[in-house]
Structure 1
Amino acid sequence: MANTANIPQAGNPRPYVLLSAAVSVDGYLDDTGPERLLLSNALDFDRVDDVRAGVDAILLGATAVRRDNPRLLVGSQERRAARVARGLPEYPMKVVVTGSGDLDASLALWHCGGDKLVFTVDSAVAKLLDTIGSLADVVSTGPVLDWPAVLDELGHRGVRRLMVEGGGSVHTQLMSANLADEVHVAVAPLLVGQPQAPRFLGPADYPGGPLARMRLIEARPIGDVVLLRYSPKERAR
């Protein structure tokens, strides 16, 4: 189903936006090999599963979806049962953002639990309806991808907590637009060192510039990984 009408701009709060990433010590999300580089360990994957269980929606950019073909599920049966007991769907909504509309109907996330929603631009709506059909609701934000409109629409749909799992372009856009409320970075003891590999954040005009320090919420080891939690909107020179 497509919805190309104007997205509501008021009346529902935007979701709390949590960016989540696992990175190498030198800041990469992956290497350039054909298989996904596993940066986290089993304990950290379980932590991510717990975070997923506590949100209303999980968002990925189309490049990350095509590259990793994730299912975006809550793996723990106990956590899924707890969601249902709280009156929530068993799985969070799955949200994909694409400017090109290049999403194949065979991708895993269309065919497992949770509602599916795709944000795109006017020029890609027809392609998406032709390729994914009724597998997801398709919403255009207009001639260009409009992140505030994306968040407004998610709020309109009842999303109060949004987990953004990548990729780097999406993280960079949200951080540079000052739309991220919290950042989780799991730093793995690996060095990638490949210039063409995807990075967590790219060059951008970030709020406050290089002297603005984000507030550290938490730092803790999880096995050989270190979790860093920051509040990017709380900055001080």
Structure 2
Amino acid sequence: MTANLSNLLDKPPPPRGDGQRVLVVADDPGDSELLRTTLQLAGYRVGTAGTGAQGLDRLTGHGFDLAVWDAVLLSHLTRLPRAASRPAGPPVLFLTTCDSLHRLVPELGAGEQDYVTKPLRIAEVLARVDVLLRRRRPDGHTGPLRYGDLVLDDATCRARRGSRPLDLTPAEYRLLRHLLGNAGCVLSKEQIGRHVWGEFRAGEAIEKLVSRLRRKVDRDPGEPALIHTRRGFGYWLGGAA
């Protein structure tokens, strides 16, 4: 009981917005209302659109900082990534089902884009929105990224755990950076492969990469493990499992 209470108290609060403008484009009124209410409560200013055409129209010249786009509206996605890839265009968080993911992945380029799967998990949506918007801030972040005794410095691409430096390869650093930026959220192998290499990689390649990273990050027996596996779903970074 005490351990469970401690874990809850140690869990970081969900990220909050600072008045950024988010456009929700979804054809399901229930999803649209859920996202609108949740994002508003989290500190964002939210606009909505019920079709892809309306979404594209609202994005033009309306100053949105991010678009949450339902992948059901796939007929408009061939135009959206090109607009989003321009410096002035907003990053895009796609909503998709697991069985439709293979249709969406070719649309995801190297720009500021990510996805979450349905049924929606609000904590995951808020975390991905926060990560995408953080990349858009002029300074990227206000200093080294931290999770407990784990520290990453994007300026030097170096990481340490406590006083122990972590000798990471570029791929290992990108993976650890992605896990830390989405702390508490399970990342699928597809998401990890696309983020680390910019393309799909076989599950075995990702398993080997995670295993190498885990040996470096969670090396000392006296340290609580930070990198965890949720079998059948993916990997996540957080406190004791």
TM-score by length of structure 2 reads 0.30
For CA contacts below 8 A with separation 6 or more, give which structure has more relative contact order.
Answer: 1
Structure index of larger Rg:
2
